[in-house]
Amino acid sequence: MEITETKICKKCSEKLPLTKEYFAFSKGYWIGKCRKCQRKYIKAYHLANPEIIARHRETRRKKKAEINRIKKANRIPKPKRIYVPKPKKPKKIKTPEEIEARRLQKNKIAKKWRKNNPEKERLRRKKWRKNNPEKIRLKKKKWREDYPEKAKAKSRRKQQKQRNNVTDVYVKCLIKASTGLKRDEIPKEMIETKRLILKLKRELKTM
């Protein structure tokens, strides 16, 4: 068995191995109290002397600040790094197939994003519509030119719907035809009265 030197703690009188695990070693001497007792003593001292501890702390803080100040004053500034831009790689010329493949890939990513962010997508579309009324108008115009039959049918459906619901647009149209008034000249009461008459006439027809 290995023989270890031991030491008796002057506080708790316990016989402990004379190693740094059990005793503190300071300025060439072993401290008399074991680490456990030392810790207890320090803790008690702190509790009993808060002013002294605060003073010590303040002194240390000031000392440190002073050292830092001197360090800072004597520091040799590092030479500033000069930014050298990396030479740009020459752009690779893409084949039409590569461009098309990239386009499809981008579309796929965008589609996935739209699927995962329906609410954001809805707002994005709304904003776009608000900012691009002219584009929408041209798109609609193009569609009407490309599909005249569909456009006619759509227009008829819309008119039918307006007629069925006796909307302002529909009523104004009738008033305009019979009186020659312009759309924005027709007073609100006139529209309401005309609507009422139309509704009554329709009801009479069904009787």
Rule CB under 5 A: which of 29-88 touch Zn ion? 34, 37
In this structure, are residues 168 and 184 in contact, taking their beta carbons and an 8 Å threshold?
no
What's the CA dihedral at 177, 182, 185, 187 to 10 degrees?
20
Contacts 24+ apart (CB under 8 A), 192-199: 195/166, 195/171, 198/166, 198/171, 198/174, 199/166
Rounded Cα–Cα distance for residues 207 and 204 (Å) = 5
Rule CB under 5 A: which of 162-181 touch Zn ion? none
Interface pick for Zn ion out of 8, 12, 109, 138 (rule CB under 5 A): 12
In the complex, the smallest distance separating the C-beta of residue 54 from Zn ion, rounded to whole angstroms, is: 28
Coil/strand/helix, residue 85? coil
Q: Is 9 in the site for Zn ion (CB under 5 A)?
A: yes
Of 34 and 191, which has the nearer Cβ to Zn ion?
Answer: 34
Of 12 and 200, which has the nearer Cβ to Zn ion?
Answer: 12
Q: Is 16 in the site for Zn ion (CB under 5 A)?
A: no
Of 38 and 167, which has the nearer Cβ to Zn ion?
Answer: 38
Which residues form the interface with Zn ion (CB under 5 A)?
A: 9, 11-12, 34, 37
